[in-house]
């Protein structure tokens, strides 16, 4: 089979892209990226705020369960200045009123603020809680307020904008 028979009227050079076609394709892709980038940054910020709220609620639920299971107080302690929170265990017989960190420290990403009106939210062995509120806020005005009901220890999340 000859080259003419393979191409049937088209040369082998016609099967690739020209430089003009390649530049035009890249320009279209760049325009699409420029239009979607602002939406993408907003989505990423929203995802980060929701991740912090989920982690806080999970830690609070775990503290509540551990308090019921071990018959000791547990709390989630907040440090808004360093934008961190951590779980702590209490009720030590040898040092009442002292708290021992249990698990790691969760750091809030720098674009998100952590505001707490209490030092800690405490969960008691009887299922009650010493409550307060914690607000997780993004730079665009989106925020979530997390509280624990004092009589039932139920954790509530309210979203605001």
**Tens of pLDDT along 95-131?**
667 899 999 999 999 889 999 999 999 999 999 999 8
Dist CA 143 CA 67 (whole Å): 28
Task: Please classify residue 55 by burial: count the beta carbons closer than 10 Å to its beta carbon, then call 0-12 exposed, 13-18 middle and 19+ buried.
Answer: middle
Which carries the bigger pLDDT value, residue 17 or residue 65?
65
Dist CA 130 CA 90 (whole Å): 13
For the chain, percent helix, then strand, then coil, each to nearest 5? Answer: 40, 30, 30
Residue 120, strand partner residues: 77
**What's the mean pLDDT when you consider all of the chain?**
86
Model pLDDT for residues 23-45, shown as the tens digit of each residue? 999 989 888 877 776 666 777 88
- Of all residues in the chain, the percent with pLDDT exceeding 70 is 86
Dist CA 85 CA 79 (whole Å): 6
Nearest to 68 by CA among 123, 118, 146, 14: 123
pLDDT tier at 85, thresholds 50, 70, 90? very high
Helix (H) or strand (E) holding 7: helix 3-7
pLDDT tier at 75, thresholds 50, 70, 90? very high
Nearest to 108 by CA among 72, 84, 73, 143: 84
What sign does the dihedral 94-68-130-108 (CA atoms) show?
positive
According to the model, what pLDDT value does residue 90 have? 92
Sorted by sequence, the CB contacts under 8 Å of residue 117 that are 6+ apart come out as 132, 133, 134
């Amino acid at each position: 089979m000859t080259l003419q028979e393979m191409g049937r009227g088209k040369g082998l050079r016609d099967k690739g892209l020209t430089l003009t076609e390649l530049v035009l394709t890249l320009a279209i892709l760049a325009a699409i990226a420029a239009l979607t980038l602002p939406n993408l940054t907003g989505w990423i910020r929203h995802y980060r705020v929701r991740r912090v709220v989920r982690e806080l609620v999970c830690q609070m639920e775990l503290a509540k369960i551990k308090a019921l299971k071990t018959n000791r107080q547990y709390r989630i302690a907040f440090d808004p200045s360093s934008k961190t929170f951590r779980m702590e265990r209490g009720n030590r017989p040898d040092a009442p009123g002292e708290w021992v960190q249990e698990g790691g420290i969760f750091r809030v990403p720098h674009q998100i603020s952590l505001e707490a009106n209490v030092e800690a939210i405490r969960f008691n062995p009887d299922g009650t809680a010493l409550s307060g509120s914690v607000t997780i806020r993004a730079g665009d005005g989106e925020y979530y307020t997390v509280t624990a009901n004092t009589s039932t220890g139920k954790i509530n999340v309210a979203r605001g904008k």
